Amino acid sequence: MKKKSVVIGDIAKQLNVSKTTISFIINGKAKEKRISDELEDKVMRVVDELGYVPSPLAKSLRTGKTNIIGLIVEDISNPFFALIARKIEERANNNGYKLFYCSSENDTKKTSELIRLFRQRQLDGYIITPAAGTEKDINILLNENLPVVLFDRYLPDIEANYVIVDNFGSTYNAINHFVEQGCKSIAFISLDSEQTQMKERLIGYKKAISDNNLKHIIKKIAFRGNTTNYTEEIRSFLKTETHVDAVFFATNYLAISGLEAIVSLQKKIPDDIGVIAFDDHDLFRLFAPSITAIAQPIEQISAHLLDIILNSINDSANIQIARKMVLPANLIIRRSSLKKERIIKPE
Amino acid sequence: MKKKSVVIGDIAKQLNVSKTTISFIINGKAKEKRISDELEDKVMRVVDELGYVPSPLAKSLRTGKTNIIGLIVEDISNPFFALIARKIEERANNNGYKLFYCSSENDTKKTSELIRLFRQRQLDGYIITPAAGTEKDINILLNENLPVVLFDRYLPDIEANYVIVDNFGSTYNAINHFVEQGCKSIAFISLDSEQTQMKERLIGYKKAISDNNLKHIIKKIAFRGNTTNYTEEIRSFLKTETHVDAVFFATNYLAISGLEAIVSLQKKIPDDIGVIAFDDHDLFRLFAPSITAIAQPIEQISAHLLDIILNSINDSANIQIARKMVLPANLIIRRSSLKKERIIKPE
DNA sequence: CTGAAAGCGCTTACAG
DNA sequence: CTGAAAGCGCTTACAG
C-alpha cells in the first residue's frame, strides 16, 4: 500500500542523466556547474511532474544540516513561553527554518536529555532557557561551535549568547512606583531560586527598598513546578504579615496563586493591598481591578533570539563572540497599584 | 574543533568485532542472535566507555522509524492547546517517544505544509487539529497506513481516528443552565466557521433554545486569527441587542474579547448579563465575578490521543478501523451565570 | 555464534 | 559540461 516515494535515482534513470547532475540542479548549482539550460529545464520538468522532494533525512546524514532549530522552554503552557515560541516559529518559517519546541520543566536532567536529543538529531541551532546544572551540556554545544542562545535567564559561568530583560531595573521601577503611591510595607514574593532573573528581580527590589528607607519583606517559596498552586503558602504569609500594603509577585504563576490568596482573604485590591506582577497576562487588563504588570517585550525577544541563531549559522567565524542583550521591560500601570487618589497629599 | 562523535565502526575496530554484532547487541538482540554473554559484556563496556550513541538520523534512514510524534495544533499560544501539548509530551516521553509541535494558525496551506514536512521527516505518528481543506493531505497519510488521529474537531468526509468532546451536549446543558437561572434572551457568540466543533456547539444552543420556546440570538464573527481582538464586534453587537440577558461564548478567546466588551459597556455580570465560556481559563475562577465555563477534559483527551497513536504504531493491522471518541465536557458553574438568588421564586 | 556486504537517499571531490 | 564512485552511519538478509 505504502507508495514508495520518488527518489533521485528515479529521475536520473528516466532522463538518463547522472544523479550528480540532478543534485546540482535541484540545489540551484546549475549555473555554477555550467549545466546547459535545456538540461536544467528538462530535469526540472520531470521533478515537478513526479513531485520529487529530496529526503531531508538522507540530506542531513550527508551534510550534517537539518534546517531545524530547537527551542527548549521551561514550560510551554506558561503563556510567556507559548507566545515566545509562536513568534520564533513564525520568523523561523519565514526564513526557511522549522522550529521544534519542547518543555524542560526546569529540570536539569530533562534539559540535558533534550539538548542531547537535539544534538543527535543534528538540529542547526539551540534556543534554551537553561536550568541550573546544565553548564556541561551547553558547553558541549559551545565547544562544537554550534549556534546557541540562552534566554529568560543565563548561566553566569558560561560565555554564551543570551537575550534577557532588565530584571533589575524593571523591578526597581515597579517598587518605586509602589512607593510613589504611598506604600510603606512592600512585600516581594518569589521562588527560592538561584536563577539569574530571580536574583536580579530580588536585587532590584532590595535596592528600591533601601533607597526609600523602607524595610525588606521577602517571602521565598520552594519551587514545586510551574503548574503547581502556591495559593496556600501565599495565603498564610499574607495572613501573618497583616501590615503589608503592597505585594510584588516575581513570576506570572505566583501572581495568579497570589491573586487567589488575596481574594480568599477578602482583601481589597488596591485599597488593602496593592499588586504588581512580573509578566503580563491576557486577562490582567480585564480583572476587576485591572492588574499592574511588568510586560516583557515578547516580539523583540523573539526577534533577537532568532537573529542571533541565524547569524551564527551563516557566519560560524563570528560565533565565538558572545552577544549579550538586555532589553527593557515595560511597567504597565493599571488599577491594582494605584492608591494615590485615596491618599491625602501633604500640602 | 568539532569533535567527531563515536560511530559503530569505532567500536567494531577497537574490539575486532563486526558492526553487525555490535548492532545486534546495541539493539537488544544479543539473546535472539545467540551472541555469547562475554562478547556482549565486552561490547557494552566499550560502548559505555566511549559514550557511543547510535545516530538517530542514520537509523531512521535505514529503518524508516524516527520515534518522534508530530503534533499540529491550531495555536500553541492558546492555553487549551498548550496544555494538551504539555500533557501529550509528558506521556510520549514516558513511552520513549519525542513530541515535536507546531502551530497551523488554522490555515489550510500551513497545515498542508506541516503535514508534508512531518512526513518527509518520517515522523512515526500524527496528531492534528485539522483545518478545513486538508482532507487531501490527511488522506495521503491514511493511504500510507500512517498513524493519524484528529482532535478538537474532525473532517466529516474522512474516515480517521478522532478524539473530541461532546460539543453538542455540553453546550445544550450550559444553555439550559441559563434558562434555569431565569434568562430569557440568551445570545450565542461564535465564529463564522464550518468546523465541526463550532457547528455542534451551535446545534446544542439551538436545540436548548427551541426546547424552551425561546428565541435564537446568534452572532457569528468572521475568523481573523486567534490572537485577534474581537472586542469591537462583540461590543457593538451587545450595544444593539440591549435585551440580551445572557451570553454564551463559543471559544476561549471570544470569551476574553467578550469580557472586555462587557466591562467597557459597564454592564454588570451576572445581573445585567450572564456569561458562560467554552473552555476554561486559569484566571476565570479568580475573576470578579468568577466565570462559568465548559471545561474540556484535557488530561483524558491527551491520554486518548497518545494511546491511539501508540496502538496504531504497534499494531498496524488494526490501523484501518477508525476509533472515534467523544468525551464529556464539564460545566463548571461559577458566579457569572448565577442569577437565581436575585429572582423572586414563585411560591 | 559471527561477519561481509548491500542498501537507505542523498552530496561532492575528483576526473575527464 | 557531465558522470562514476565514495561515503554519511546505520540495519539486516544471507551465508557459513
For residue range B323-332, list pLDDT tens digits in order.
899 999 999 9
pLDDT at position A346: 46
Could you give the residue ranges of the DSSP H alpha helices within A95-132?
A: 108-120
C-alpha of B100 from chain center = 13
pLDDT at position A297: 97
pLDDT at position A316: 59
Q: What pLDDT digit, counting tens, does each position of A245-285 carry?
A: 999 999 999 999 999 999 999 999 999 999 999 999 988 99
Chain B residues touching A76 at Cβ < 8 A: 76, 82, 85-86, 89, 101
Determine phi and psi for B217, rounding to 5 degrees: -135, 100
Q: Residue A250: is it exposed, middle or buried by C-beta count within 10 angstroms (0-12/13-18/19+)?
A: buried
| Nine cell digits for residue A296 | 516583557
C-alpha separations of B53 from A66, B22, B197 in Å: 19, 12, 45
Q: Return the ∠ at Cα B116 (arms to B115 and B119), rounded to 5°.
A: 85
Indicate if CB(A56) is under 7 A from strand C: no
Determine phi and psi for B3, rounding to 5 degrees: -70, 120
Please report where in the chains the cell 486577562 appears, as a residue: A283
Q: How far apart are CA A102 and CA B100, in angstroms?
A: 7
Q: Residue B234: is it exposed, middle or buried by C-beta count within 10 angstroms (0-12/13-18/19+)?
A: buried
Q: How far apart are CA A31 and CA A36, in angstroms?
A: 8
Half-sphere exposure of B261 (CA within 13 A, CB side): 23
Mean pLDDT of A167-176: 98
Per the model's pLDDT, the better-predicted residue between B334 and A38 turns out to be B334
Q: What pLDDT digit, counting tens, does each position of B169-205 carry?
A: 999 999 999 999 999 999 999 999 889 999 999 999 9
pLDDT higher than threshold 60 for residue B35: yes
A251: left (phi over 0), alpha (psi -120 to 50) or beta: beta
Q: What pLDDT digit, counting tens, does each position of B139-167 carry?
A: 988 888 889 999 999 999 999 999 999 99
Q: Say if CB A143 and CB A117 are below 8 A apart.
A: no
Q: Say if CB B178 and CB B247 are below 8 A apart.
A: no
Q: Which of B100, B109, B226 is the best mutation test for A, with the most CBs of A within 10 A?
A: B100
Per the model's pLDDT, the better-predicted residue between B85 and A35 turns out to be B85
Residues shown for chain A: 347
Give the highest mean pLDDT range of A17-31, B263-277, B329-343. Answer: B263-277
Q: What pLDDT digit, counting tens, does each position of A57-116 carry?
A: 888 888 888 888 999 999 998 999 999 999 999 999 888 888 888 889 888 988 988 888
Nearest-neighbour CA in chain B from A158: distance (Å): 18
pLDDT at position B254: 94
Strand partners of residue B276: B248, B292
A99 touches B at CB < 8 Å: yes
Q: What pLDDT digit, counting tens, does each position of A283-294 carry?
A: 899 888 999 999
| Nine cell digits for residue A20 | 550528480
Verify cis geometry, omega within 30 degrees of 0, for the bond prior to A289: yes
Indicate if CB(A35) is under 7 A from strand C: no
Q: Return the ∠ at Cα A293 (arms to A290 and A298), rounded to 5°.
A: 120
Give the end-to-end CA distance of chain B in Å, rounded to a whole number: 87
pLDDT higher than threshold 50 for residue B90: yes
CB nearest to A61's CB, from B61, B89, B281: B61
Beta strands in A264-347 (DSSP E): 274-278, 292-295, 324-327, 330-332
Q: Do B122 and A57 touch (CB under 8 A)?
A: yes
Q: What percent of chain B has pLDDT over 70?
A: 95
Per-position b or e across B236-270, b if 16+ CB within 10 A of its CB = ebbeeeeebbbbbbbbbbbbbbbbbbbbeeebebb
Q: Do B77 and A99 touch (CB under 8 A)?
A: no
Could you give the residue ranges of the DSSP H alpha helices within B16-134?
A: 19-26, 37-50, 56-63, 79-94, 108-120
Q: Say if CB A164 and CB A325 are below 8 A apart.
A: yes
Confidence class for position A327, pLDDT limits 50, 70, 90: very high
- Residue A217: how many CB atoms within 10 A of its CB? 19
pLDDT at position B339: 84
Q: How far apart are CA A255 and CA A230, in angstroms?
A: 9
Q: Do B89 and A103 touch (CB under 8 A)?
A: yes
Q: Do B86 and A99 touch (CB under 8 A)?
A: no
Indicate if CB(A136) is under 7 A from strand C: no
Q: Say if CB A334 and CB A275 are below 8 A apart.
A: no
- The mean of the pLDDT values for chain B is 89
Q: Do A89 and B76 touch (CB under 8 A)?
A: yes
Indicate if CB(B35) is under 7 A from strand C: yes
Q: What is the DSSP letter of A144?
A: T
Strand partners of residue B233: none
Indicate if CB(A228) is under 7 A from strand C: no
Task: Give the number of A-B residue pairs with CB atoms closer than 8 Å.
Answer: 114
Q: What percent of chain B has pLDDT over 90?
A: 57
Nearest-neighbour CA in chain B from A144: distance (Å): 5
pLDDT at position B30: 79
Q: How far apart are CA A192 and CA A199, in angstroms?
A: 9
Q: Do A57 and B53 touch (CB under 8 A)?
A: no
Please report where in the chains the cell 435585551 appears, as a residue: B243
Q: Say if CB A79 and CB B283 are below 8 A apart.
A: no
pLDDT higher than threshold 90 for residue B319: no
Q: Say if CB A244 and CB A271 are below 8 A apart.
A: no
Verify cis geometry, omega within 30 degrees of 0, for the bond prior to A270: yes
Mean pLDDT of B306-330: 83
Q: Say if CB B292 and CB B309 are below 8 A apart.
A: no
pLDDT at position A318: 54
Q: What pLDDT digit, counting tens, does each position of A203-239 carry?
A: 999 999 999 999 999 999 998 876 678 999 999 999 9
Nearest-neighbour CA in chain A from B103: distance (Å): 7
Single-letter amino acid code for the residue at B333? I
Q: Say if CB A293 and CB A173 are below 8 A apart.
A: no
| Nine cell digits for residue B63 | 529503518
3-state secondary structure of B290: coil
Q: How far apart are CA A301 and CA A321, in angstroms?
A: 19
Indicate if CB(A62) is under 7 A from strand C: yes
Q: Nearest-CA neighbor of A77 among B232, B83, B338?
A: B83
Residue of B nearest to A253 (CA): B282
A259 touches B at CB < 8 Å: yes
Q: How far apart are CA A199 and CA A167, in angstroms?
A: 9
Per-position b or e across B289-323, b if 16+ CB within 10 A of its CB = bbbbbbbbebeebbebbbbbbbbbbeeeeebeebb
Q: What is the DSSP string of B52-63?
A: ----HHHHHHHH
B256 touches A at CB < 8 Å: yes
- Residue A114: how many CB atoms within 10 A of its CB? 24
Mean pLDDT of A185-191: 96
For residue A20, which nucleotide's C1' is closest to its Cα?
A: D3
Residue of B nearest to A90 (CA): B103
Q: What is the DSSP letter of B126?
A: E
Q: Which of A283, A290, A291 is the best mutation test for B, with the most CBs of B within 10 A?
A: A283
Chain B residues touching A79 at Cβ < 8 A: 77, 79, 82
Half-sphere exposure of B277 (CA within 13 A, CB side): 26
pLDDT higher than threshold 50 for residue B2: no
Q: Three-class SS string for A50-79?
A: HCCCCCHHHHHHHHCCCCEEEEEECCCCCH
Q: How far apart are CA B91 and CA B100, in angstroms?
A: 13
Please report where in the chains the cell 540542479 appears, as a residue: A25
Single-letter amino acid code for the residue at A179? V
Q: What pLDDT digit, counting tens, does each position of B214-232 carry?
A: 999 999 999 887 667 899 9
Mean pLDDT of B289-305: 96
- The mean of the pLDDT values for chain A is 89
Please report where in the chains the cell 535505514 appears, as a residue: B62
Q: What is the DSSP string of B216-276?
A: -EEEEE----TTS--HHHHHHHHHH-TT--EEEESSHHHHHHHHHHHHHTTPPTTTT-EEE
